[in-house]
Amino acid sequence: MRGARAGAYLLAGAIIGGVAGGLTATYLGPQGPAAGSPAAVATAGALPLATPFANPSPGTDPVVSAVNELLPSVVTVINYVSNGQPQSSGSGFVVDAQRGFVITNNHVVEDVRDTNPGASFDVVFSDNKKMSAKLVGRDQLTDLAVLQVSGAQNLKAAALGNSDDAPVGSSVVAIGSPLGEFQNTVTHGVVSAKGRRVAETPQVFLEDLIQTDAAINEGNSGGPLIWVATHQVIGVNTLVASNAQGLGFSISSNTVRTISDELIKNGKIVRGFIGVQYTPLAPRQAAQLGLPSGTTGIVVTQVVPGSPGQQAGIRVNDIVTKVNDQAIDAEHPLQSVMVKFRPGDKVKLTILRDGKEQTVDVTLGQPQ
Protein backbone atom coordinates (compact mmCIF):
# COMPACT_ATOMS: atom_id res chain seq x y z
CA MET A 1 0.00 0.00 0.00
CA ARG A 2 2.82 2.38 0.81
CA GLY A 3 4.47 1.59 -2.50
CA ALA A 4 1.28 2.26 -4.43
CA ARG A 5 0.75 5.58 -2.71
CA ALA A 6 4.39 6.54 -3.25
CA GLY A 7 3.95 5.92 -6.97
CA ALA A 8 0.89 8.15 -7.08
CA TYR A 9 2.72 10.92 -5.24
CA LEU A 10 5.71 10.47 -7.53
CA LEU A 11 3.57 11.30 -10.53
CA ALA A 12 2.32 14.49 -8.87
CA GLY A 13 5.88 15.35 -7.88
CA ALA A 14 7.03 14.91 -11.44
CA ILE A 15 4.34 17.29 -12.66
CA ILE A 16 5.13 19.88 -10.01
CA GLY A 17 8.84 19.54 -10.70
CA GLY A 18 8.26 20.08 -14.40
CA VAL A 19 6.28 23.24 -13.74
CA ALA A 20 8.92 24.55 -11.33
CA GLY A 21 11.65 23.80 -13.81
CA GLY A 22 9.81 25.70 -16.51
CA LEU A 23 9.45 28.72 -14.25
CA THR A 24 13.14 28.63 -13.42
CA ALA A 25 14.02 28.53 -17.10
CA THR A 26 11.86 31.59 -17.71
CA TYR A 27 13.75 33.61 -15.13
CA LEU A 28 17.23 32.37 -16.02
CA GLY A 29 16.95 32.11 -19.78
CA PRO A 30 17.69 34.77 -22.43
CA GLN A 31 15.51 37.84 -22.93
CA GLY A 32 12.28 37.37 -24.88
CA PRO A 33 11.50 38.76 -28.34
CA ALA A 34 11.89 42.46 -29.02
CA ALA A 35 8.92 44.69 -28.27
CA GLY A 36 6.62 45.04 -31.23
CA SER A 37 7.45 41.63 -32.71
CA PRO A 38 4.53 39.28 -33.50
CA ALA A 39 5.49 36.99 -30.59
CA ALA A 40 5.49 39.94 -28.17
CA VAL A 41 2.08 41.08 -29.35
CA ALA A 42 0.64 37.56 -28.99
CA THR A 43 1.85 37.16 -25.39
CA ALA A 44 1.36 40.71 -24.09
CA GLY A 45 -1.14 41.37 -21.31
CA ALA A 46 -2.52 39.22 -18.50
CA LEU A 47 -5.33 36.70 -18.94
CA PRO A 48 -8.78 38.12 -18.21
CA LEU A 49 -10.02 37.66 -14.66
CA ALA A 50 -13.25 35.91 -13.78
CA THR A 51 -16.02 38.14 -12.52
CA PRO A 52 -15.73 38.34 -8.71
CA PHE A 53 -18.55 36.73 -6.74
CA ALA A 54 -19.42 36.14 -3.11
CA ASN A 55 -19.05 32.59 -1.84
CA PRO A 56 -22.49 30.95 -1.66
CA SER A 57 -23.83 30.20 1.79
CA PRO A 58 -23.82 26.49 2.70
CA GLY A 59 -27.60 26.33 2.57
CA THR A 60 -27.69 27.18 -1.14
CA ASP A 61 -25.75 24.04 -2.16
CA PRO A 62 -27.63 20.90 -1.07
CA VAL A 63 -24.49 18.76 -1.03
CA VAL A 64 -22.57 21.26 1.11
CA SER A 65 -25.56 21.61 3.40
CA ALA A 66 -25.86 17.83 3.92
CA VAL A 67 -22.14 17.48 4.57
CA ASN A 68 -22.05 20.36 7.05
CA GLU A 69 -24.93 18.87 9.00
CA LEU A 70 -23.73 15.27 9.14
CA LEU A 71 -19.93 15.46 9.13
CA PRO A 72 -19.83 15.74 12.96
CA SER A 73 -21.65 12.39 13.15
CA VAL A 74 -18.96 10.49 11.22
CA VAL A 75 -16.07 8.83 13.02
CA THR A 76 -12.91 6.90 12.26
CA VAL A 77 -12.84 3.50 13.99
CA ILE A 78 -9.43 2.19 15.09
CA ASN A 79 -9.15 -1.53 15.87
CA TYR A 80 -6.37 -2.68 18.26
CA VAL A 81 -4.80 -6.04 19.05
CA SER A 82 -4.26 -7.19 22.63
CA ASN A 83 -0.86 -5.50 22.97
CA GLY A 84 -2.40 -2.10 22.19
CA GLN A 85 -1.07 -1.82 18.64
CA PRO A 86 -3.53 -0.66 15.97
CA GLN A 87 -4.21 -3.36 13.41
CA SER A 88 -6.79 -1.75 11.12
CA SER A 89 -9.17 1.15 10.78
CA GLY A 90 -12.44 2.01 9.12
CA SER A 91 -15.31 4.44 9.42
CA GLY A 92 -18.60 4.67 11.28
CA PHE A 93 -21.26 7.11 12.39
CA VAL A 94 -23.16 8.00 15.53
CA VAL A 95 -26.73 6.75 15.32
CA ASP A 96 -27.86 7.45 18.91
CA ALA A 97 -26.37 10.53 20.60
CA GLN A 98 -27.92 9.89 24.02
CA ARG A 99 -26.62 6.34 24.39
CA GLY A 100 -23.45 6.80 22.32
CA PHE A 101 -24.14 4.04 19.77
CA VAL A 102 -21.97 3.97 16.65
CA ILE A 103 -22.70 1.89 13.55
CA THR A 104 -19.87 0.35 11.52
CA ASN A 105 -19.05 -2.84 9.59
CA ASN A 106 -18.32 -6.18 11.19
CA HIS A 107 -15.14 -6.49 9.13
CA VAL A 108 -13.95 -3.17 10.62
CA VAL A 109 -14.08 -4.60 14.15
CA GLU A 110 -12.78 -8.08 13.29
CA ASP A 111 -9.27 -9.22 14.04
CA VAL A 112 -7.34 -9.13 10.76
CA ARG A 113 -6.04 -12.68 11.40
CA ASP A 114 -9.34 -14.44 12.07
CA THR A 115 -13.04 -13.83 12.62
CA ASN A 116 -12.72 -12.91 16.30
CA PRO A 117 -13.27 -9.28 17.30
CA GLY A 118 -10.38 -6.90 17.95
CA ALA A 119 -9.17 -6.47 21.52
CA SER A 120 -10.21 -2.81 21.89
CA PHE A 121 -11.44 0.14 19.85
CA ASP A 122 -11.16 3.90 19.62
CA VAL A 123 -13.36 6.27 17.67
CA VAL A 124 -12.02 9.57 16.36
CA PHE A 125 -14.53 12.33 15.71
CA SER A 126 -14.35 14.92 12.95
CA ASP A 127 -12.80 17.42 15.38
CA ASN A 128 -10.03 14.85 16.15
CA LYS A 129 -11.39 14.05 19.63
CA LYS A 130 -10.58 10.41 20.40
CA MET A 131 -12.64 8.21 22.73
CA SER A 132 -12.52 4.54 23.64
CA ALA A 133 -15.46 2.38 22.59
CA LYS A 134 -16.77 -1.03 23.54
CA LEU A 135 -18.24 -3.59 21.17
CA VAL A 136 -21.99 -3.98 21.75
CA GLY A 137 -22.54 -6.68 19.13
CA ARG A 138 -21.73 -7.73 15.60
CA ASP A 139 -23.21 -9.86 12.85
CA GLN A 140 -21.04 -11.54 10.26
CA LEU A 141 -23.86 -12.44 7.87
CA THR A 142 -24.91 -8.81 7.34
CA ASP A 143 -21.44 -7.31 8.01
CA LEU A 144 -22.76 -4.92 10.66
CA ALA A 145 -21.51 -4.02 14.12
CA VAL A 146 -22.47 -1.62 16.90
CA LEU A 147 -19.97 0.15 19.16
CA GLN A 148 -20.71 2.35 22.17
CA VAL A 149 -18.80 5.31 23.58
CA SER A 150 -19.45 6.15 27.23
CA GLY A 151 -19.54 9.55 28.84
CA ALA A 152 -19.49 11.48 25.56
CA GLN A 153 -21.39 14.74 25.55
CA ASN A 154 -22.84 16.82 22.74
CA LEU A 155 -22.70 13.99 20.21
CA LYS A 156 -24.36 14.56 16.86
CA ALA A 157 -26.42 11.61 15.59
CA ALA A 158 -27.20 10.89 11.96
CA ALA A 159 -30.79 9.88 11.25
CA LEU A 160 -31.46 6.52 9.61
CA GLY A 161 -33.82 7.09 6.72
CA ASN A 162 -36.05 4.67 4.85
CA SER A 163 -33.83 3.25 2.12
CA ASP A 164 -36.89 2.09 0.18
CA ASP A 165 -37.88 5.74 -0.35
CA ALA A 166 -34.66 6.78 -2.14
CA PRO A 167 -35.17 6.30 -5.89
CA VAL A 168 -32.46 5.27 -8.32
CA GLY A 169 -30.71 8.44 -9.46
CA SER A 170 -30.92 10.13 -6.05
CA SER A 171 -27.94 12.32 -5.22
CA VAL A 172 -25.86 10.83 -2.37
CA VAL A 173 -22.60 11.54 -0.55
CA ALA A 174 -20.29 9.12 1.22
CA ILE A 175 -18.18 10.29 4.17
CA GLY A 176 -15.31 8.37 5.73
CA SER A 177 -11.57 7.92 6.17
CA PRO A 178 -10.21 6.26 3.02
CA LEU A 179 -6.87 4.46 3.42
CA GLY A 180 -7.07 5.27 7.14
CA GLU A 181 -5.33 8.60 6.48
CA PHE A 182 -7.71 11.00 4.80
CA GLN A 183 -10.22 11.68 7.56
CA ASN A 184 -13.48 13.51 6.75
CA THR A 185 -13.27 12.71 3.04
CA VAL A 186 -16.49 13.43 1.13
CA THR A 187 -17.38 11.84 -2.21
CA HIS A 188 -20.48 12.51 -4.28
CA GLY A 189 -22.53 10.35 -6.62
CA VAL A 190 -25.95 8.85 -7.18
CA VAL A 191 -27.90 5.77 -6.23
CA SER A 192 -27.00 3.60 -9.22
CA ALA A 193 -29.25 0.63 -8.39
CA LYS A 194 -31.01 -1.01 -5.47
CA GLY A 195 -31.58 -4.55 -4.23
CA ARG A 196 -28.16 -5.81 -5.28
CA ARG A 197 -26.76 -9.08 -3.96
CA VAL A 198 -22.98 -9.42 -3.68
CA ALA A 199 -20.70 -12.12 -2.28
CA GLU A 200 -18.56 -10.66 0.52
CA THR A 201 -16.89 -14.07 1.04
CA PRO A 202 -17.55 -17.49 -0.54
CA GLN A 203 -19.86 -18.20 2.41
CA VAL A 204 -21.50 -14.81 3.00
CA PHE A 205 -23.76 -13.07 0.49
CA LEU A 206 -24.90 -9.57 1.39
CA GLU A 207 -28.48 -8.83 0.40
CA ASP A 208 -30.51 -5.70 -0.42
CA LEU A 209 -27.44 -3.57 -1.16
CA ILE A 210 -27.54 -0.07 -2.61
CA GLN A 211 -25.18 0.38 -5.53
CA THR A 212 -23.55 3.80 -5.89
CA ASP A 213 -20.91 5.50 -8.00
CA ALA A 214 -19.80 7.71 -5.09
CA ALA A 215 -16.15 6.79 -4.61
CA ILE A 216 -15.62 4.23 -1.84
CA ASN A 217 -12.12 3.11 -0.92
CA GLU A 218 -10.41 1.00 1.70
CA GLY A 219 -11.08 2.73 5.02
CA ASN A 220 -14.52 3.99 3.94
CA SER A 221 -16.08 0.79 5.26
CA GLY A 222 -18.70 1.50 7.90
CA GLY A 223 -19.24 5.12 6.91
CA PRO A 224 -22.63 6.53 5.93
CA LEU A 225 -24.17 6.87 2.50
CA ILE A 226 -26.30 10.01 2.82
CA TRP A 227 -29.31 10.94 0.71
CA VAL A 228 -28.66 14.59 -0.05
CA ALA A 229 -32.32 15.56 -0.42
CA THR A 230 -33.23 14.46 3.11
CA HIS A 231 -29.87 14.63 4.98
CA GLN A 232 -30.58 11.05 6.10
CA VAL A 233 -28.40 7.93 6.05
CA ILE A 234 -29.75 5.34 3.61
CA GLY A 235 -26.78 2.97 3.64
CA VAL A 236 -23.58 1.81 5.31
CA ASN A 237 -20.67 1.69 2.86
CA THR A 238 -19.20 -1.78 2.89
CA LEU A 239 -17.43 -2.92 -0.29
CA VAL A 240 -16.40 -1.97 -3.80
CA ALA A 241 -15.75 -3.91 -7.00
CA SER A 242 -11.97 -4.03 -7.31
CA ASN A 243 -11.90 -4.54 -11.08
CA ALA A 244 -14.24 -1.71 -12.04
CA GLN A 245 -14.81 1.98 -11.41
CA GLY A 246 -17.90 3.47 -9.83
CA LEU A 247 -19.18 0.18 -8.39
CA GLY A 248 -19.58 0.64 -4.65
CA PHE A 249 -22.12 -1.04 -2.40
CA SER A 250 -23.84 -0.03 0.82
CA ILE A 251 -25.98 -2.03 3.23
CA SER A 252 -29.47 -0.54 3.11
CA SER A 253 -30.53 1.49 6.12
CA ASN A 254 -33.64 -0.65 6.60
CA THR A 255 -31.40 -3.69 7.10
CA VAL A 256 -29.13 -1.62 9.33
CA ARG A 257 -32.04 -0.58 11.55
CA THR A 258 -33.36 -4.14 11.97
CA ILE A 259 -29.97 -5.68 12.75
CA SER A 260 -28.72 -2.84 14.94
CA ASP A 261 -31.85 -2.79 17.09
CA GLU A 262 -31.41 -6.49 17.78
CA LEU A 263 -27.66 -6.16 18.43
CA ILE A 264 -28.33 -3.38 20.94
CA LYS A 265 -31.04 -5.46 22.62
CA ASN A 266 -29.38 -8.90 22.63
CA GLY A 267 -25.73 -8.39 21.64
CA LYS A 268 -26.15 -10.87 18.77
CA ILE A 269 -28.53 -11.95 16.04
CA VAL A 270 -30.51 -15.11 16.77
CA ARG A 271 -31.73 -16.57 13.49
CA GLY A 272 -34.53 -19.01 12.95
CA PHE A 273 -33.48 -22.66 13.32
CA ILE A 274 -34.75 -25.48 11.08
CA GLY A 275 -32.59 -28.22 12.56
CA VAL A 276 -31.11 -29.97 9.53
CA GLN A 277 -27.62 -30.60 8.22
CA TYR A 278 -27.19 -30.64 4.47
CA THR A 279 -24.98 -30.49 1.41
CA PRO A 280 -25.58 -28.48 -1.78
CA LEU A 281 -27.26 -30.40 -4.57
CA ALA A 282 -24.59 -30.91 -7.23
CA PRO A 283 -25.61 -30.90 -10.93
CA ARG A 284 -24.22 -34.43 -11.39
CA GLN A 285 -26.17 -35.66 -8.37
CA ALA A 286 -29.34 -34.05 -9.73
CA ALA A 287 -28.81 -35.80 -13.06
CA GLN A 288 -28.23 -39.16 -11.34
CA LEU A 289 -31.50 -38.71 -9.45
CA GLY A 290 -33.31 -38.00 -12.72
CA LEU A 291 -34.27 -34.49 -11.69
CA PRO A 292 -35.11 -31.86 -14.31
CA SER A 293 -32.16 -29.92 -15.72
CA GLY A 294 -31.39 -26.84 -13.67
CA THR A 295 -32.81 -28.19 -10.40
CA THR A 296 -31.04 -26.56 -7.46
CA GLY A 297 -31.28 -26.85 -3.70
CA ILE A 298 -29.79 -28.68 -0.73
CA VAL A 299 -29.83 -32.37 0.22
CA VAL A 300 -30.72 -33.11 3.84
CA THR A 301 -28.07 -35.36 5.40
CA GLN A 302 -29.28 -35.27 9.03
CA VAL A 303 -32.35 -34.09 10.91
CA VAL A 304 -31.76 -32.96 14.49
CA PRO A 305 -33.96 -34.96 16.89
CA GLY A 306 -36.75 -32.82 18.35
CA SER A 307 -36.00 -29.94 15.98
CA PRO A 308 -38.61 -27.94 14.07
CA GLY A 309 -37.50 -29.78 10.94
CA GLN A 310 -38.24 -33.18 12.47
CA GLN A 311 -41.57 -31.96 13.81
CA ALA A 312 -42.48 -30.79 10.30
CA GLY A 313 -41.68 -34.23 8.89
CA ILE A 314 -38.48 -33.45 7.00
CA ARG A 315 -36.46 -36.60 6.25
CA VAL A 316 -32.88 -37.47 5.33
CA ASN A 317 -32.38 -37.30 1.53
CA ASP A 318 -35.17 -34.75 1.11
CA ILE A 319 -34.12 -32.07 -1.38
CA VAL A 320 -35.16 -28.58 -0.28
CA THR A 321 -35.48 -26.32 -3.34
CA LYS A 322 -37.24 -23.22 -1.94
CA VAL A 323 -37.85 -21.25 1.24
CA ASN A 324 -41.21 -19.56 0.72
CA ASP A 325 -40.87 -18.33 -2.88
CA GLN A 326 -37.07 -17.97 -2.86
CA ALA A 327 -35.19 -20.66 -4.81
CA ILE A 328 -32.07 -22.05 -3.13
CA ASP A 329 -29.11 -21.94 -5.51
CA ALA A 330 -25.53 -20.71 -5.75
CA GLU A 331 -26.73 -17.11 -5.71
CA HIS A 332 -29.11 -17.73 -2.82
CA PRO A 333 -27.58 -20.31 -0.45
CA LEU A 334 -29.77 -21.46 2.42
CA GLN A 335 -27.64 -19.64 5.00
CA SER A 336 -28.18 -16.30 3.27
CA VAL A 337 -31.88 -16.90 2.68
CA MET A 338 -32.38 -17.59 6.39
CA VAL A 339 -30.74 -14.28 7.46
CA LYS A 340 -34.09 -12.49 7.59
CA PHE A 341 -35.97 -15.06 9.68
CA ARG A 342 -36.21 -15.23 13.49
CA PRO A 343 -37.35 -17.88 15.98
CA GLY A 344 -41.12 -18.22 15.86
CA ASP A 345 -41.39 -17.29 12.17
CA LYS A 346 -43.23 -19.76 9.97
CA VAL A 347 -41.72 -20.65 6.59
CA LYS A 348 -42.88 -22.89 3.76
CA LEU A 349 -40.25 -25.27 2.40
CA THR A 350 -40.60 -26.78 -1.07
CA ILE A 351 -39.05 -30.25 -1.11
CA LEU A 352 -38.49 -33.09 -3.56
CA ARG A 353 -39.04 -36.53 -2.06
CA ASP A 354 -38.79 -39.61 -4.25
CA GLY A 355 -38.95 -37.32 -7.28
CA LYS A 356 -42.23 -35.70 -6.23
CA GLU A 357 -42.61 -32.07 -5.14
CA GLN A 358 -44.43 -31.15 -1.95
CA THR A 359 -44.42 -28.36 0.63
CA VAL A 360 -44.06 -28.42 4.41
CA ASP A 361 -44.63 -25.64 6.92
CA VAL A 362 -41.92 -25.17 9.55
CA THR A 363 -42.18 -22.96 12.64
CA LEU A 364 -38.60 -21.94 13.24
CA GLY A 365 -36.98 -22.57 16.58
CA GLN A 366 -33.93 -21.20 18.37
CA PRO A 367 -30.49 -22.83 18.08
CA GLN A 368 -29.52 -24.76 21.18
Rounded to whole angstroms, the Cα distance separating 159 from 157 reads 6
Number of H helices, E strands in the chain: 8, 18
The confidence score (pLDDT) of residue 338 equals: 86
Residue 186 lies in a domain: yes
282 and 354 within one domain: yes
245, 269, 293 - which closes a domain: 269
**CB within 8 A of 362, min separation 6: which ones?**
274, 308, 309, 311, 312, 314, 346, 347, 348, 349
Residue 203 lies in a domain: yes
Q: What is the 3-state secondary structure (H, E, C) of 292-332?
A: CCCCCCEEEEEECCCCHHHHCCCCCCCEEEEECCEECCCCC
Per-residue pLDDT, averaged over 87-98, amounts to 95
Confidence of residue 56 (pLDDT cuts 50, 70, 90): low
| 188 is annotated as an active-site residue | no
pLDDT in tens, 197-239: 888 887 778 888 999 999 998 889 999 999 999 999 999 999 9
* DSSP three-state, residue 3: helix
**Quick check: 59 and 119 in contact, CB under 8 A?**
no
Domain hosting 330: range is 276-363
Q: Nearest 5°: phi and psi at 108?
A: -75, -35
Mean confidence (pLDDT) of the chain: 84
Residue 171: beta bridge partners? 190
pLDDT in tens, 273-329: 999 999 999 999 999 999 998 999 999 999 999 999 999 999 999 999 999 999 998
Of 360, 220, 258, 350, which is closest to residue 295 (Cα–Cα)?
350
pLDDT in tens, 236-284: 999 988 777 889 999 999 999 989 999 999 999 988 999 999 999 999 9
Q: Which of 76-80, 301-305, 317-321, 336-340 has the lowest mean pLDDT?
A: 336-340
N-terminal to C-terminal alpha carbon distance within the chain: 44
Rounded to whole angstroms, the Cα distance separating 32 from 294 reads 78
The confidence score (pLDDT) of residue 57 equals: 63
Residue 143 has pLDDT above 80, yes or no: yes
Percentage of residues in the chain having pLDDT higher than 70: 85
**Quick check: 312 and 273 in contact, CB under 8 A?**
no
The confidence score (pLDDT) of residue 51 equals: 66
117 and 189 within one domain: yes
The confidence score (pLDDT) of residue 209 equals: 93
The tally of domains found in the chain comes to 2
308 and 227 within one domain: no
Residue 48 lies in a domain: no
Q: Which listed residue (73, 91, 107, 177) is catalytic?
A: 107
289 and 256 within one domain: no
Residue 44 lies in a domain: no
The CATH code of the domain that includes 131 is 2.40.10.120
The confidence score (pLDDT) of residue 39 equals: 47
Rounded to whole angstroms, the Cα distance separating 149 from 278 reads 42
The CATH code of the domain that includes 357 is 2.30.42.10
| 143 is annotated as an active-site residue | yes
237, 269, 301 - which closes a domain: 269
322 and 217 within one domain: no
Q: Which listed residue (89, 91, 122, 143) is catalytic?
A: 143
Q: What is the CA radius of gyration of the chain?
A: 28
216: number of Cβ within 10 Å: 27
Q: Which listed residue (163, 192, 221, 253) is catalytic?
A: 221
| 325 is annotated as an active-site residue | no
Rounded to whole angstroms, the Cα distance separating 305 from 251 reads 37
300 and 346 within one domain: yes
pLDDT in tens, 4-52: 333 322 222 222 233 333 332 222 333 444 444 444 444 456 777 666 6
Residue 219 lies in a domain: yes
Rounded to whole angstroms, the Cα distance separating 303 from 36 reads 98
Rounded to whole angstroms, the Cα distance separating 80 from 111 reads 8
Residue 160: beta bridge partners? 233
Q: Which of 41-45, 157-161, 211-215, 331-335 has the lowest mean pLDDT?
A: 41-45
Residue 339 has pLDDT above 60, yes or no: yes
291 and 256 within one domain: no
The confidence score (pLDDT) of residue 241 equals: 86
304 and 248 within one domain: no
324-339 as b/e, with b when 16 or more CB fall inside 10 Å?
eeeebbeebbbebbbb
251, 269, 287 - which closes a domain: 269
64 and 212 within one domain: yes
The confidence score (pLDDT) of residue 8 equals: 29
* CA angle, 180 then 185 then 188, to 5°: 135
For residues 340 and 133, which has the higher predicted lDDT (pLDDT)?
Answer: 133
Which parts of the chain fold into alpha helices (H)?
A: 2-28, 38-43, 62-70, 106-109, 253-266, 283-288, 308-311, 334-337
The confidence score (pLDDT) of residue 28 equals: 35
93: number of Cβ within 10 Å: 28
Residue 265 lies in a domain: yes
Rounded to whole angstroms, the Cα distance separating 182 from 13 reads 19
140 and 84 within one domain: yes
286 and 217 within one domain: no
- Rounded to a whole number, what is the largest CA-CA distance in the chain? 102
Residue 139 lies in a domain: yes
Residue 15 lies in a domain: no
84 and 136 within one domain: yes
For residues 335 and 64, which has the higher predicted lDDT (pLDDT)?
Answer: 64
What count of Cα atoms within 13 Å lies in the side-chain half-sphere of residue 63?
Answer: 12
Q: DSSP letters of 24-90?
A: HHHHHS---PPTTSHHHHHH-SPPPPPPP-PPPPGGGSHHHHHHHHHGGGEEEEEEE-TTS-EEEEE
Residue 95 has pLDDT above 90, yes or no: yes
